[in-house]
């Protein structure tokens, strides 16, 4: 996938189909509620494999009961279609690891 920076309308369209995400400036952000810290560690490890495969890495903040993902394309200074690909993968992982366990 290319690293073309998305315009505002394209970002709004992404957020319309990825309702768990929000825009904070030029970043996409999702906060995942966790039942335990260990659940968060498992999700961090799972997303690390995706990040390496896509060669695209998020900024993560792991707390006791939540994991925050912050995604943007550093060398483009904003949100690109590559970020959308990463968001898709994170949503899939959350559905498999967190939501399915509840």
- Look at the block and give the residue holding tokens 């509620």: 33
- The mean pLDDT value of the chain amounts to 93
Q: Is the pLDDT of residue 101 over 90?
A: no
pLDDT digits (tens, 9 = 90+) for 47-70: 999 999 999 999 999 999 999 999
Radius of gyration of the chain, Cα coordinates, nearest whole angstrom: 13
Q: Please check whether residue 56 lies inside any domain of the structure.
A: yes
Q: Could you write out the three-class secondary structure of 28-70?
A: EEEEEECCCHHHHHHHHHHHHHHHHHHCCCCEEEECCCEEEEE
Specify the pLDDT at position 97. 84
What is the structure's pLDDT at 1?
55
Write the CATH number for 15: 3.30.1360.20
- Residue 1: inside a domain, yes or no? no
Record the tokens describing residue 17, joined without a space.
Answer: 């189909």
Give a yes or no: residue 62 inside a domain.
yes
Q: What pLDDT was estimated at residue 45?
A: 96
On whether residue 33 sits in a domain, the answer given is yes
Domain count, the chain: 1
Full residue range of the structural domain in which residue 58 is found = 8-99
Q: If you average pLDDT over residues 31-45, what whole number do you get?
A: 95
**Residue 51: inside a domain, yes or no?**
yes
Q: Which residue has the higher pLDDT, 92 or 99?
A: 92
User: Does any domain span residue 3?
Assistant: no
Q: Which residues lie across from 14 on neighbouring strands?
A: none
Q: Is the pLDDT of residue 42 over 80?
A: yes
pTM confidence score: 0.91
Count the Cβ atoms, other than its own, within 10 Å of residue 73.
Answer: 20
Return d(Cα 73, Cα 59) in angstroms, integer: 11
């Amino acid at each position: 996938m290319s690293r073309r920076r998305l315009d505002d309308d394209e970002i709004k369209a992404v957020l319309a189909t990825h309702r768990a995400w929000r825009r904070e400036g030029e970043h996409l952000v999702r906060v995942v509620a966790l039942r335990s810290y260990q659940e968060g560690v498992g999700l961090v490890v799972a997303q690390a494999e995706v990040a390496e495969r896509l060669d695209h890495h998020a900024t993560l903040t792991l707390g006791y009961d939540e994991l925050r993902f912050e995604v943007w394309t550093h060398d483009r200074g904003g949100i690109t279609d590559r970020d959308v690909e990463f968001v898709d993968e994170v949503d899939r992982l959350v559905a498999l690891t967190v939501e399915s366990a509840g």
